[in-house]
Structure 1
Amino acid sequence: MASISLSSFTYGWKYDVFLSFRGQDIRHGFIGYLYKALSGRGIHTFIDDEELQRGEHIMPSLVKAITETRIAIPVFSKNYAFSSFCLDELVNILSLVKEKGRLVLPVFYDVDPSDVRHQRGSY
C-alpha cells in the first residue's frame, strides 16, 4: 500500500505535525514509536531534541515550530501538566486553533481524558 504524505495537503507548512509531550514520561517509548511511524509515512514531524531543552531560549524556537505546523498532537501523560514548557506549548497550540483553525489531535497516554477535562489528579 502506498503511503500518502500530509505535505501534499498542507502545502506551505514547514511541518505537518508538531508533537507536544513530557519527555521524562514517554520520550524513549511511545513518542519514539509515534515519531518513527509518522516519519515512515512521509509525514514531516517536529519533535524537540533533548539538547534543545537545556537551552534558555527554547520557547521562541518551539513557538516558531508550532506556528509553522498544520497539526498539533499533544500527548497528555501523567506528568504533562507539571511541565511549564508543555503548558506553554499547549497555550500556543490552542491560540492557533482559535485564531487560524489549526488541527489538534490529542492523545491520552495512561491518563483518563475526563481528568484532563475536569483538571483532576495531576491536572
Structure 2
Amino acid sequence: MDSEKGTSTAFNSSSTTIPGGEYDVFLSFRGPDTRETFTDYLYTSLKDAGVRTFQDNNDLRIGEEIGPELLEAITQSKISIPIFSKDYASSKWCLRELSQMVECKRTTRQMILPIFYDVEPFQVRHQSGSYEEAFRNHESCFQESTVKEWKEALREVGALKGFREKS
C-alpha cells in the first residue's frame, strides 16, 4: 500500500466456506481521508473482537513490495470492506484493490461490504462529483482498459447494499 491506502479486517473464519483465509476482512481506504478517524476506530474494534485483521503499516515487512502483498492479502481474506470516501477514487491503489476484490467476488465468492463515508452510493456507482474528477486525471495517466476496469468495479460495488457513515 502507498500513503493513499489502508487496512484490512474480517469476520470469524468459521462463518464462511471461502477458501484461503489468512485474514478475515480486508479494509480498503484512502489513508488521508479516514485512517486516523473512522478506519482506525473500525480496525481497533475488529481487532479487539478477535477478528484477524490486515493493516498495511503493521503487517508488511520491510523490504517487501507493497503492491503484491496487498493484493495477496485481499485474496487471502474472506470479506472485503472498501470504505468509499471523497478522495477514494483519486488513489490508484484503492482502485487496484477494488478491482482485486471484484475479481475475488467472482472467482471465490468473497463477500464485499461497502461503506460510504461522506459520499453517496450513486457518486461511487456513476463516478460523479469527486469521483468524476479523479477519473479525468486517471484517463491521462493510465491505459483505457485499466480505467474501464476501475469504473466497472466502482459501478458493481457501488450498486451493492452497504452502510452509510457520516463524519
TM-score by length of 2: 0.65
What CA distance in whole angstroms lies between the structure 1 residues aligned with 2:45 and 2:77?
A: 18
Q: Does the 8 Å contact 1:10/1:16 carry over to 2?
A: no
Instruction: Give distance in 2, aligned partners of 1:49 and 1:56.
Output: 12
Map 1:60-75 → 2, pairs under 5 A: 60-75=68-83
For 1:27 and 1:10, the matched residues in 2 are separated by 28
- Alignment-derived partner of residue 116 in structure 1: 124
Q: How far is 1:7 from its partner?
A: 2.5
Residues matched between the structures, number = 118
Q: Give the structure 2 partner of residue 37 of structure 1.
A: 45
Correspondence for 2:12 among 2, 6, 11 = 6
Counterpart mapping for 1:30-109 below 5 A: 30-49=38-57, 57-109=65-117
* Counterpart residue type for residue 100 of structure 1: T
Shift of residue 47, structure 1, vs aligned partner:
1.9
Give unpaired runs (5+ residues) of structure 1.
none
AA aligned opposite 2:27:
L
Contact 2:13 2:78 in 1 (8 A): no
Identical aligned residues as a percent: 51
Change (3 A) 1:117 1:42: same
CA RMSD of aligned residues (A): 2.2
